């Protein structure tokens, strides 16, 4: 024997449902928002003078000073020595540059850097045919800069006798470090 409740359930559900769309039936009780008068006493410009100036996106934006004169860029980290050291080591990790040796006391990092491959997305053909500059060892030093009240990132080849002046990629390494510190550490999204 079937339970009479099971038979009565569909009838109960049909009786509770409404066929008329009742979503908007209480509109007459709603109030309209007040109309606020807007008065302009002075003419406003569509674009302000400050709109064209780049705005710092991070509270840390003032920590990096970068000047590039096409030959020898200058990267200055305006912070404590410990923080400058950490920013530099994190930037090297993020760019996958091979660190040979680190000496925190003298603020020296020795790296092996290939300007054609390191810090770039390179395919297999780029690795084979795009190698124009040789891989070399570089010394990255943090030197205290009294005029800028920060630390100057100085990059030089480890063995300057083995590298020609046109094969020296120190400037490119400083640009890569600045780009990484700026985009991935200070202004990361």
* Average pLDDT score, the chain: 79
E strand or H helix that includes residue 41:
none
136: β partners: 113
Local structure of 156: helix, strand or coil: strand
List, for residues 97-146, the tens digit of each pLDDT value: 999 999 999 999 999 998 877 666 656 655 566 556 778 899 999 999 88
Domain ranges of the chain: 60-186
Nearest to 98 by CA among 168, 158, 29, 182: 158
| pLDDT band at 76; cut points 50, 70, 90 | very high
**pLDDT at residue 180 greater than cutoff 60:** yes
CATH number of 60-186: 3.30.530.50
């Amino acid at each position: 024997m079937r339970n009479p409740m099971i038979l009565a359930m569909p009838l109960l559900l049909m009786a509770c449902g409404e066929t008329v769309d009742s979503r908007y039936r209480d509109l007459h009780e709603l109030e309209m928002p007040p109309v606020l008068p807007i008065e302009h006493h002075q003419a406003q410009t569509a674009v302000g003078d400050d709109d064209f100036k780049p705005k710092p996106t991070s509270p840390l934006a003032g920590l990096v000073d970068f000047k590039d004169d096409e030959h020898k860029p200058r990267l200055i980290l305006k912070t404590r020595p410990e923080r400058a050291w950490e920013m530099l080591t994190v930037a090297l990790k993020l760019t996958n540059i091979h660190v040979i040796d680190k000496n925190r006391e003298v603020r020296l990092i020795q790296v092996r850097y290939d300007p054609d491959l390191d810090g770039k997305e390179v395919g297999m053909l780029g690795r084979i045919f795009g190698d124009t500059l040789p891989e070399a060892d570089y010394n990255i030093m943090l030197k205290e800069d009294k005029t800028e009240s920060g630390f100057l990132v100085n990059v030089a080849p480890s063995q300057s006798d083995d590298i020609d002046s046109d094969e020296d990629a120190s400037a490119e390494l400083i640009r890569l470090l600045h780009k990484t510190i700026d985009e991935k550490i200070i202004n990361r999204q």
